[in-house]
Amino acid sequence: MRGRILPSSVSQVGTVTKYELVNYFRSRRFFVLLIIGVIISALLTVLVGYYRPADFMSSSLKFYYNWFNGSITFVIILSGIFYGGDAISGEFQNKTGYFLVANPLRRSAIYIGKWLGALTASVIMLAVFTAIAIGNGVYYFGLNIPYQLWVSVLFGLLYLIAVLGFTFFFSSLFKSSSISILVTAILFLFAFMLIQSLVEALVKIEPWFLITYGAQIVTNTLIDPYPTTSTQGFGPNAFTSYATTIPEGIAILSTYFLVTAVLGLLIFERKEFT
Amino acid sequence: MNSPSIEAVNLSKRYGSFPALSNLNLRIEGSKCVGFLGPNGAGKTTTLKIFTDMIRASEGRALINGIEVHPNKKKALESAGALIESPEIYPSLTPREALSMVAELRGLPKGERRKTIEDAVAEVKMDEWLDKKVGKFSKGMKQRINIAAALLSDPEVVLLDEPTTGLDPRGMAEVRDIVKSLKKRNRLIFMSSHLLNEVQEICDEVAMIDHGKLLVYDTLSNVTTRFSNDGGNVVDIEFLRDIDQAVNTNIASLANVNSAERMDPRRIRIRFSGGAPIQERLLSDIVTMKIGMISFHSPTSALEDTYLNLIKDTL
């Protein structure tokens, strides 16, 4: 034992990430999510191939917009729930944390390592989904891939980072895996959307505080020209359709990530393995 | 080279108004095995968890080799291996992978890892399972891998929380052998256990705790001498053949022997005054008598007797 030098925390983060990924790649969860992503892509492929909807076929940009609209954010949210929902709470509930925590490494190394593992697994999902979309796009429109697609994928990655920051934060709040997964799923699949609709329709303010509002930039980028906030009707019947700008969207997603990542890390640092 | 040490300084832990640990002061130094005894909820696991920074002390400090654990966890645990409760390993990993992770985190040189892991797994008799997924293992098999993980980096200080939990009798015996071998390698082992015979067999010292308070910390013989009903000065003698009353009388007449009680035709329990030197002399005297003695040992109840005297409640 003497004379041995402990690895740096950065190196330990890499070790945690590596074995987290080994665990993911062998788990049923990874393949279930992969299959879900492939099924969504396959359904789109068949439907577009069979019906050739005019909205899809008018231009390559519209093709990618319609392909991504709704589906890419769904894949990102599913990845967040699958990989982040119980990432930390599971360490307490399943007692796997007892195996790691009693070793000479900072808890932050565990948290960051697990987060990077979840991000890598989610990026693989996103890459598979995007590759199938591009495959279809190339089939119909050739290699003329609009630059907005790459911007959209980049924003998708930012959204994924923010979602994983958020899900890890919620995961560190609970000691029960099922509760943390359930709360995260309800928030992303229902609550945020509902709140956004209510805020826009009833309170009539821009929902800048919602992560799902910031995520609009992922698909809005694929609209030419980029949509802006617009109001229809007059007086009390006026309805404003809010559209986040790119700087706003980046700011919202980045803030969500930074705040939830710091809070999640602080909670995990202080949480006790009782 | 300094001796390995652990030290609790005014260590307290409260959960709300419940004091799980109250002002624990304990310094253990040197290569030895110290048994940490107490009833359920006494504060044993709480203490060990504070030493591994799994929970934070409400007050006081926990030090390993002079380094305070909470603010310097990485440095303090560098020289310590720990098994707290019964950790679970990611079910899709094999023991080789799980131990590789520990080896990498602890900085074992790459060239040594393979052999170190194989040796550690062989020591806990799990070499046939090295490349099977942990998810299929029984509780006892997982515990063996956990023990291998705790000892993988050959730590100076070993903290074990009921290490034989889930193990079959053979597994328990093997763990006892492992702990004995650690003592020979100049290691400090601090081990909580409910199994008094296990502690009596392998530990040199005992610390007893109840309701979060340390009751006693001393050598095994001193503790049993001070706190057992017989003052620890009790020996059971077994004979090859049935013995007659004359043998009983002869033994009872030896110096310092207070009583010689025939337990059965081949067994006598003697109570004597004085400590270990007198016990040694009595052994020599009875051997000289050539009466077919085949066993001379303290009844295993000595520590149990002490435990029951010191600890009155079970919770």
Is the same domain home to B182 and B256? Answer: no
Task: State the pLDDT confidence band at B230, using cuts at 50, 70 and 90.
Answer: low
pLDDT digit string, tens, across residues A64-101? 999 999 899 999 999 999 998 889 999 999 999 999 99
CA geometry: angle B180, B138, B84, nearest 5 deg = 50
Instruction: Identify the CATH number of the domain in which residue B286 sits.
Output: 3.30.70.100
What are the distances in angstroms from CA B156 to CA B48, B65, B112, B152? 16, 9, 19, 11
Percent of chain A with pLDDT over 70: 99
Is the same domain home to B213 and B240? Answer: no
- Say if the Cβ atoms of A4 and B108 lie within 8 Å: yes
pLDDT digit string, tens, across residues A109-144? 999 999 999 999 999 999 999 999 999 999 999 998
**Residues forming a β-bridge with A138:** none
pLDDT digit string, tens, across residues A188-213? 889 998 998 888 888 888 899 999 99
A96 with B86: CB under 8 angstroms? no
Is the same domain home to B27 and B142? Answer: yes
pTM score, whole prediction: 0.88
Residue B306 lies in a domain: no
Q: Which residues of chain A neighbour B190 with C-beta distances below 8 Å? A: none
Domain C-terminal end among B163, B196, B219? B219
Of A1, A96, A101, the CB nearest to B54: A101
Is the same domain home to B211 and B254? Answer: no
Helix (H, G, I), strand (E, B) or coil at A87: coil
Q: Which pLDDT does position B298 carry in this prediction?
A: 76
- Which residue carries 């797994």 as its tokens? B121
Is the same domain home to B214 and B275? Answer: no
CA nearest B109 in A: which residue? A4
How many domains would you assign to chain B? Answer: 2
Is the same domain home to B200 and B249? Answer: no
CA nearest B74 in A: which residue? A104
Task: State the pLDDT confidence band at B1, using cuts at 50, 70 and 90.
Answer: low
Chain B segment 51-80 residues within 8 A of A by beta carbon are 52-56, 73-80
Chain B segment 81-120 residues within 8 A of A by beta carbon are 82-90, 92-93, 97-98, 100-102, 104-109
Is the same domain home to B80 and B156? Answer: yes
Is the same domain home to B170 and B257? Answer: no
B153 in contact with A, Cβ within 8 Å: yes
Average pLDDT, whole number, for chain B?
90
Instruction: Identify the CATH number of the domain in which residue B42 sits.
Output: 3.40.50.300
Q: Is the pLDDT at A272 greater than 90, yes or no?
A: yes
Domain C-terminal end among B172, B197, B219? B219
Helix axes A60-68, A107-141, angle to 10 degrees: 140
Residue B41 lies in a domain: yes
Is the same domain home to B161 and B288? Answer: no
Nearest to B259 by CA among B226, B218, B230: B230
Residue B227 lies in a domain: no
Of A1, A23, A273, the CB nearest to B54: A273
pLDDT digit string, tens, across residues B189-198? 999 998 888 8
Q: Is the pLDDT at A2 greater than 60, yes or no?
A: no
Residue B112 lies in a domain: yes
| Domain boundaries, position B271 | 233-297
Residue B307 lies in a domain: no
Q: Tell me, what's the ipTM?
A: 0.89
pLDDT digit string, tens, across residues A32-44? 999 999 999 999 9
Residue B265 lies in a domain: yes
CA nearest B106 in A: which residue? A6
Amino acid (1-letter code) at residue A163: V
Is the same domain home to B199 and B267? Answer: no
